[in-house]
Amino acid sequence: MMQVTTLFESIRPRYPEFKDQVALITGSSRGIGKGIALRLAREGMKIVIHGLDAQEVETTTQELQALGVPVIGLAADLTSDDEIDRLFQATLEAFGTINLLVNNAADLRRKTLFEADKTMLDHQLSINIRAPYLCAQRAAEIMRPAKSGSIINISSVGGFRAHWTGHPYDLTKGAIDMMTRAMALDLAQIGIRMNAIAPGAILTDRSAPPSDPRLEQVAQRIPMGRFGTPLEIGAMVAFLASEDATYVTGQVIYVDGGVTAQLSPPGQPI
């Protein structure tokens, strides 16, 4: 993966209204969440880095600090109500408010119906649905007095079209899509917008090595012929949170290289 400094400097800021606003991004110590954090930091936002692994959180926080970004980092298990409270309290103590919440943290494991046991189901229901629900409630309470703010859920193409071997992950992302629509109706009345982004295949530091032939095989099944990047998801987050999207709420935006538009992969017609 490219160095953080190189990635940061490659971003062209577009939204001056973000200057000194506060963004809390769950699951931002690596992967898609880190790309989102980099984009928002480049736009001038104050950043809260969160993750489950304390060392990863510290590393990412230090990388942003070295770039001059106002940032704090906190490791927290979002299956715990107390840990969610601690995350929001730390954010308020450091920056005084929250303008943008990105619910990105999730358990990404996928298995067949008969392989996914009750322990896995319970964990994904907790981290993939319950945690974003509670975080959105907390953020909305903070945003309510100002009658402004944005909440963005990171969903998946699996919330719309099921993966082969997609349990229980896909069902949790389908729930996130509906949570986005349902909450958006309540929040619209108090000036807060909620949307979701559904990424397709995104190349992250958790993907296979670049030389792995499986990556090319997957890329060939994507209409655009390549994987997406975390910064491309970050670009959509920035747009949805910006003043250019003030009439957009309750939507699920697919950033997937065309995957959900196709009935079957290239060369495999039904």
User: Catalytic site residues?
Assistant: 169
Residue 163 and residue 170 in contact, taking contact as beta carbons nearer than 8 Å: yes
- For residue 210, which phi and psi values (nearest 5 degrees)? -55, -30
Give the count of beta carbons closer than 10 Å to the beta carbon of residue 145: 9
Distance CA 173, CA 76 (A): 21
Chain center to CA of 110: 18
Token couple for 162 = 């099921």
Q: Which amino acid is it at 223?
A: P
Query: In what order do the strands lie in the sheet containing 100-103?
Result: 71-75, 46-51, 22-25, 100-103, 150-154, 193-199, 252-255
Distance CA 198, CA 252 (A): 7
Helices (H), 44-168: 54-66, 81-95, 118-124, 131-143
Q: Which amino acid is it at 26?
A: T
Q: Which amino acid is it at 220?
A: Q
Q: Report the relative pairing of strands 22-25 and 100-103 from DSSP bridges.
A: parallel
Calculate the dihedral angle through the C-alpha atoms of 87, 91, 92, 97, rounding to the nearest 10 degrees. -120
Q: Rg of the Cα trace of the chain? A: 18
